[in-house]
Every structure is written in C-alpha cells, then in structure tokens.
Amino acid sequence: MDAVESAGKLLERNRQFEEKELVVKQFYGFFHLISTIRDEIVTKHATRSPETEDYQQGQTYLQDIRGRLESILVSNYEEAHALDWGHGQDYYKEAQYVMAVFADEVFINLDWYGAREWQKELLEAQFFQTTNAGDLFFVKLDDLLEKHGQLYIGIAKVYFLALALGFRGKYHGVPNSEDIIANYKKKLFIFVYGGRYDYREITIPFFEEPYLYVAGRSKPRLLPFFNRYVLVVASFAVIYFMGSYVIWRAKITPLKQAVHQVVLKQSGIIW
C-alpha cells in the first residue's frame, strides 16, 4: 500500500470516527469541565451560605459556573450542527440533553451552598423546558435501545458514560437500584457491539478514541537484543580463560620437567 492510499484510508477513518464519535468527544470535554468546577467547589466554595459575609460573591460564582456550562453546551451544539453528516438535530439535542441533566444531578447532589439554588434553575429547564430528568432520561434511553444501526452508536456511548460516571435519576438512593443500572449498561454494551462479546469479560476497548491518534509511520527501531550482549560477554570470558590456560601451560612446563627429573633420580632410573 503506497503512502497516498494509506493517507486516504486514514482520512476516511478519521471522518468516520468524527461522524460516529463527535458527541462522545463532546461529553468527555463537558465532563472535564464539570470535574474542574466540582474540585473548585470542594476546595474553595463549599462552606459559603447566606449567613456568611461573602454570600453575594458566592452568588456571583454560581452564575459564573452556569455561564461556563451553558457556553460549552451551546458551542457543542453549534459544532455538531455545522458538522452534521445526516444525523439530524434531534440526535445532537439528545446528546446535549444527557450532558445537561448529568450536570444538574452533579450540582444538586453536591454538598455545597448552591445545591438548592441550582434546583431552582436547572440546565434542563433552560435548554429543554422540562424538569423531569429523573424519569425522562430513562424513557429516552429505553427508546434508544429499541432502535438499531450504526447511526446511534455515539449516543449510546454517551448514555453509557453518564451511567458509568454516576447518573442515577429516579434510581438515586433507591435500594438495589445498582442492579437496574448494571442491566442498562449491559444493554448499551450489547447495543454497541451487537452481542458479539461477553459483557462480563470485556477485553476490547469500548471507546476507540484513545487508539485513533497514534505515532506516525516511521522506520522501526528495535530494542537492544539482550542475547547479543550475552554473547559478547561470553566470548570475552572464553577468550580470557583460554588465554589464561595458555599462559599457565607455558609457566608450568619447566616446573613439570624439573619435577620429573627429581622423580627419576629418586627412583634410581637416572643418576
């Protein structure tokens, strides 16, 4: 395969990856922002309350958080709309919905002064005019699981990520609900791979993104061959011992001859 053909195949693979996985990449970026904000809250802002002197500053920070999340949700949708390969707006809106309700659940359940304020102004309500994510998330997920085809692989992975990272919705705090969540994750795994693999023994990457960007083609460089060094050392050892033996023989020959003469004289063979 020549370089031009190889490049062409790589470009096509990249295009297919972007087409299927754009929403997954966006979710990763959104989750990274959520994690950053959560760390900020835990380390700097968790103890603020209306009784403290810096309450107003805390409110300003709360609006700043919302602004950062709203900005990335809007930019994600605009990016998806601009790069649309035929999925349709509903596909990307559903991905944005999962991201929005995931963020809502994180900041509502986080132990901080903004939890009650956040519940009054949900991202879900602002972007989708609904406030029942606890139920609606799973309604949408059930609808997705009834569909088929490669077209829905990306959104299936977004749902899987949300559940894997802790979204529980109506099952939050419900006893034994983890079995239900595990069953949903199993269904999503089978949805992505068509039942070709055992969910309990995952030995393949569920997300291909880390494997797409690899080092470019170059001349292979092998690691030093260990046996080669062993051979060199052994050769020097053999030469050393052989040389030592030759020197020893040269030194010992006159002595052996003298001893031999003494033995003959004592035996009366020579006098």
Query: Whole-model pTM above 0.85?
Result: no
pLDDT by residue for the chain (271 residues), tens digit each? 444 444 444 444 444 444 457 889 999 999 999 999 999 988 876 655 555 546 666 778 889 999 999 999 999 988 887 876 556 678 889 999 999 999 999 999 998 888 999 999 999 999 999 999 999 999 999 999 998 778 889 999 999 999 999 999 999 989 989 999 999 999 998 898 776 555 554 444 445 544 444 444 455 555 554 455 556 566 666 676 676 666 656 666 665 566 556 545 655 545 4
User: What does the pLDDT read at residue 113?
Assistant: 84
- Complete DSSP assignment for the chain: --HHHHHHHHHHHHHHHHHHHHHHHHHHHHHHHHHHHHHHIIIIITT--TTSTTHHHHHHHHHHHHHHHHHHHHHHHHHHHHT-SS--HHHHHHHHHHHHHHHHHHHHHSSSTTHHHHHHS-HHHHHHS---HHHHHHHHHHHHHT--SGGGHHHHHHHHHHHHTT--GGGTT-TTHHHHHHHHHHHHHHHHHTT-S-GGG--S-S--HHHHS-PPP----PPP-HHHHHHHHHHHHHHHHHHHHHHHHHHHHHHHHHHHHHHHHHTTS--
User: What does the pLDDT read at residue 17?
Assistant: 47
User: What does the pLDDT read at residue 180?
Assistant: 94
User: What does the pLDDT read at residue 32?
Assistant: 95
Sequence ranges of the domains in the chain: 1-194, 226-270
User: What does the pLDDT read at residue 260?
Assistant: 55
User: What does the pLDDT read at residue 211?
Assistant: 45
- Which CATH code, of 3.40.50.300, 1.10.287.40, 1.25.40.590, 1.10.730.10, is assigned to 1-194? 1.25.40.590
User: What does the pLDDT read at residue 214?
Assistant: 45
